[in-house]
Amino acid sequence: MRSTLRAILLLALAAVSAAQQNSSAPHFDGKSWWSHVKFLADDSLEGRDTGSEGLRKAQAYAVEQLQKAGLEPAGANGFYQPVRFNQYEVDEAKSSLALVTGGQSKSLSFADDAFINTRSTRASANLSAPLVFIGYGLQIPEKNLDELAGLDLKGKIVVYLAGSPSDIPTALASHYQTAGERWKSLRSAGAIGTISIFNPASMDIPWSRISVNRNHPSMDLADPEFYETPGLQLGVSFNPASAEKLFEGSGHTFAEIAALGKDRKPLPHFALSNSLKANAIILSKSLESSNIVAKLTGSDPTLKNEFVVLSAHIDHVGIGAPINGDRIYNGAMDNGSGSALAMDIAASLKAHPEKVQRSILFVLVTAEEKGLLGSKYFATHPTVAPKSIVADVNVDMFLPIVPLKILKVGGLEESDLGARAAAIAQSMGIKPIADPEPLRNLFIRSDQYNFIKQGIPSVKCDVTFEPGTPEQKIFKDWLTNRYHAPSDDVNQPVDLRAAALYEEFTRRLLLETANAPARPRWKPDSFFRRYAAD
Ligand SMILES: [Zn+2]
């Protein structure tokens, strides 16, 4: 009787401790992570803009932490990989946009209607051209979608609604919505400019906040090999609330287009009765910034020449227009959180070493906020042998603002790295899910995409919520109020336990990938397999 009771108690205790182990993070407590976030998001670092003194301070701190964790320098110049950029800015006082119908010109307000986007307008331009509405503006041969078919786009400015029809798989839709891919088909159709209307159904940030920072300079990699939109003379971003102006006299309304776009239905294509008259004055200059690369050398004599990359961007958007009197866009979650995680995981691997057969590369990239530029440079000019990178685990704004019960695994269905991430989450009592919000285009909106384009299986994982729960509202409010706003700072509530659990998950994913006999592979039916040489 006693022994039976004892056995039952022991069993129960074993079950409890197993459950505790499954749901806890033995290597992390969230506190050291938060102290790194606090350093990176301090006002004195002025929002870590690419090329700024604040970013250099953040990088010096990161190098110090990575060095303290025993990592070796693996950049081109110690821990640093220098990268050259060009910066572009609109001189709005000397620029103008107007819609012209039947000889009548109506000027557009930069603040309220539309602005010249320097990501797509690289040189001053003075032009006038007819407008054609091209739906989502996509040519996707894999799905027999050709929205440009039968349209005369020669010398025209095309107008499109951001988004994609619902029958296009997320990855495919994301890929063809990148500036470079989109421009390839528009250029061969003869277009000279673009007007992109934000899709009201998928805007992360309200127009008022987009507009207030529209004059923030944009950047591109200085090396001409990276110029993706040759021949594009003018790119304009349009406020959906003003978009009816574009459609006047066309026999269609923007309300009708937006309603179809909300449900991701196919859109009509037709010539508009307006022309756009534009005078864009663009100022440019060059500057330099760096990626940071640190290495934990693997123990296997052969496999140590292969690398599992943990990437996170350390830059943010700097100082911008004041919101509630605050001009410093601190970037605590975006992406102080991911950079802090990299330092914290490096420290944990020193404090609690484990067998690591492949090497792990810690890559803190610059200029993510300028269009994934630091990672683009690193992925095309890596400081290790190009084919030696076996996987990229990218961490960007993983948002530990609610308890970690559900983990969104970007790339879950694409590779066995995705499958491994899902299995690890499951084993920790966390439910893994694929991206439930394909409209937000997240798969191409962070640094993993540049690794993917080099054929490297990648994942990006984020804390997420069950639809219809109070957590959903917490995320929605966070995006509306704090994302790319000065209030993404250290005075916001975070869940340290969720952060610690996410770090534990990431540590396990890195170690299992470093120690697995085979390097990760794309699934045979993955769209992204096309980039892999094998
Ligand atoms: Zn960001």
pLDDT tens across the length of the chain (534 residues): 344 444 444 444 444 444 444 457 899 999 999 999 999 999 999 999 999 999 999 999 999 999 999 999 999 999 999 999 999 999 999 999 999 998 899 999 999 999 999 989 999 999 999 999 999 999 999 999 999 999 999 999 999 999 999 999 877 888 899 889 999 999 999 999 999 999 999 887 899 989 988 988 899 999 999 999 999 999 999 999 999 999 999 999 999 999 999 999 999 999 999 999 999 999 999 999 999 999 999 999 999 999 999 999 999 999 998 999 999 999 999 999 999 999 999 999 999 999 999 999 999 999 999 999 999 999 999 999 989 999 999 999 999 999 999 999 999 988 999 999 999 999 999 999 998 776 666 777 789 999 999 999 999 999 999 989 999 999 999 999 999 999 999 999 999 999 999 999 999 999 999 999 999 999 998 888 988 875
18 in helix, strand or coil?
helix
Distance of CA 166 from the midpoint of ligand 1 (Å): 26
Q: What is the pLDDT of residue 17?
A: 42
Whether the CB-CB separation of 282 and 90 falls below 8 Å is answered with: yes
Distance of CA 256 from the midpoint of ligand 1 (Å): 31
Q: What is the pLDDT of residue 445?
A: 77
Whether the CB-CB separation of 60 and 292 falls below 8 Å is answered with: no
What are the residues facing 410 on neighbouring strands? Answer: 460
Distance of CA 107 from the midpoint of ligand 1 (Å): 32
Whether the CB-CB separation of 456 and 393 falls below 8 Å is answered with: no
Distance of CA 445 from the midpoint of ligand 1 (Å): 9
Q: Per the structure block, which two tokens stand in for 381?
A: 């000019």
**d(C-alpha 345, C-alpha 116), whole Å:** 42
Distance of CA 449 from the midpoint of ligand 1 (Å): 15
Q: What is the pLDDT of residue 439?
A: 62
Distance of CA 374 from the midpoint of ligand 1 (Å): 14
Distance of CA 316 from the midpoint of ligand 1 (Å): 6
Q: What is the pLDDT of residue 8?
A: 44
Distance of CA 50 from the midpoint of ligand 1 (Å): 12
**d(C-alpha 241, C-alpha 244), whole Å:** 8
Distance of CA 241 from the midpoint of ligand 1 (Å): 24
**294 — phi, psi (to 5°)?**
-130, 150
**d(C-alpha 253, C-alpha 186), whole Å:** 24
Q: What is the pLDDT of residue 21?
A: 43
Distance of CA 262 from the midpoint of ligand 1 (Å): 24
Whether the CB-CB separation of 97 and 236 falls below 8 Å is answered with: yes
What are the residues facing 193 on neighbouring strands? Answer: 157, 234
Distance of CA 71 from the midpoint of ligand 1 (Å): 27
Whether the CB-CB separation of 449 and 461 falls below 8 Å is answered with: no
Q: Per the structure block, which two tokens stand in for 58?
A: 């953040």
The identity of residue 380, as a single letter, is T
Cα 533 to Cα 180, 225, 250, 270, distances in angstroms = 21, 21, 47, 40
Q: For 161-197, how does the pLDDT look when each residue is reduced to its tens digit (9 = 90+)? A: 999 999 998 778 888 998 899 999 999 999 999 999 9
**d(C-alpha 66, C-alpha 43), whole Å:** 23
Distance of CA 304 from the midpoint of ligand 1 (Å): 33
Distance of CA 48 from the midpoint of ligand 1 (Å): 11
Distance of CA 480 from the midpoint of ligand 1 (Å): 13
pTM of the complete model beyond 0.75: yes
Q: What is the pLDDT of residue 534?
A: 57
Distance of CA 484 from the midpoint of ligand 1 (Å): 6
35 CA to centre of own chain? 24
